[in-house]
């Protein structure tokens, strides 16, 4: 079974200015984001990586290109896109962020999974369907080796909290993913994904849970 290294993209000016953003192409990396990606690339320099996959959004793809230097071009996977925020796109107000977090908190608890984010964005069930499909594709396409995946914070936290058998939503909710933060996954013999490391934390105290 493959080993997955799932990475959040580097910092953008939208992160700094707190802009809700999910549409393509989106902002690219700022200077700090480039430095973050360079540091992670140095840490991974001696790690054999079989393939690199990236969200099609500019911030993820720029991060993936830095991390994939000497390893071939990253493969673009639409399933890794950030959760579409609907009418909250481009918003910066506290009210918009409150609405965003209220919906996300409900989703993390397994509630209102068919309610679209921002009124016209994606539903949690749509996001989980594409996340689950991508994880299955990894086991079908790669039988071993390390796969590097560059994606987005909300997509990472929602899908992994619901689909990884040794993660609990409350545990994940308490651990935001920083820019270029990395989550390490492997697979059990039955194909179930298992988290080995969450940005430096080990989920050994999480009870096993069923996937949604």
Which of 83, 68, 58, 211 is closest to 154 using CA atoms?
83
pLDDT(210) > 90: no
Measured distance CA(166)–CA(25) in Å, rounded: 34
Q: What is the pTM of this model?
A: 0.92
Domain count of the fold of the chain: 1
| Model pLDDT for residues 145-203, shown as the tens digit of each residue | 999 999 999 999 999 999 999 999 999 999 999 999 999 999 988 888 999 999 999 88
Provide the residue range defining the domain that includes 50.
3-84+123-205
Q: Which of 13-17, 59-63, 139-143 has the lowest mean pLDDT?
A: 139-143
Whether 70 is in a domain gets the answer yes
**CATH number assigned to the domain comprising residue 37:** 3.40.50.1240
At residue 211, the pLDDT reads: 30
Query: CA angle, corner 202, sides to 197 and 203, nearest 5?
Result: 105
CB 65 within 8 A of CB 40: no
pLDDT(122) > 70: yes
Whether 143 is in a domain gets the answer yes
At residue 205, the pLDDT reads: 47
Q: Give me the phi and psi of 167, to 5 degrees please.
A: -115, 145
At residue 212, the pLDDT reads: 29
Whether 114 is in a domain gets the answer no
Whether 49 is in a domain gets the answer yes
| Model pLDDT for residues 10-39, shown as the tens digit of each residue | 999 999 999 999 988 999 999 999 999 999
Whether 98 is in a domain gets the answer no
Whether 52 is in a domain gets the answer yes
Whether 190 is in a domain gets the answer yes
At residue 114, the pLDDT reads: 97
Whether 63 is in a domain gets the answer yes
Measured distance CA(9)–CA(58) in Å, rounded: 9
């Amino acid at each position: 079974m493959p080993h997955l290294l799932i990475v959040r993209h580097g910092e953008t000016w939208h992160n700094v200015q707190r802009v809700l953003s999910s549409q393509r192409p989106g902002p690219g990396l700022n200077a700090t984001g480039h430095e973050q990606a360079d540091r992670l690339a140095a840490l991974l320099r001696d790690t054999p990586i079989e393939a690199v996959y990236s969200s099609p959004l500019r911030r993820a793809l720029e991060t993936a290109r830095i991390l994939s230097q000497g390893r071939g071009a990253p493969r673009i996977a639409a399933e890794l896109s950030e959760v579409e925020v609907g009418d909250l796109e481009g918003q910066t107000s506290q009210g918009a962020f409150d609405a965003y977090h209220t919906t996300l908190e409900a989703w993390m608890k397994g509630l209102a999974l068919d309610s679209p984010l921002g009124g016209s964005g994606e539903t949690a069930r749509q996001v989980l369907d594409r996340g689950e499909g991508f994880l299955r594709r990894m086991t079908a396409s790669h039988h071993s080796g390390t796969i590097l995946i560059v994606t987005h914070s909300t997509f990472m936290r929602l899908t992994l909290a619901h689909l990884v058998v040794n993660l609990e939503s409350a545990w994940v909710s308490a651990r935001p993913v920083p820019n270029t933060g990395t989550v390490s996954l492997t697979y059990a013999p039955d194909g179930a994904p298992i988290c080995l490391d969450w940005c430096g934390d080990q989920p050994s105290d999480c009870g096993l849970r069923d996937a949604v």
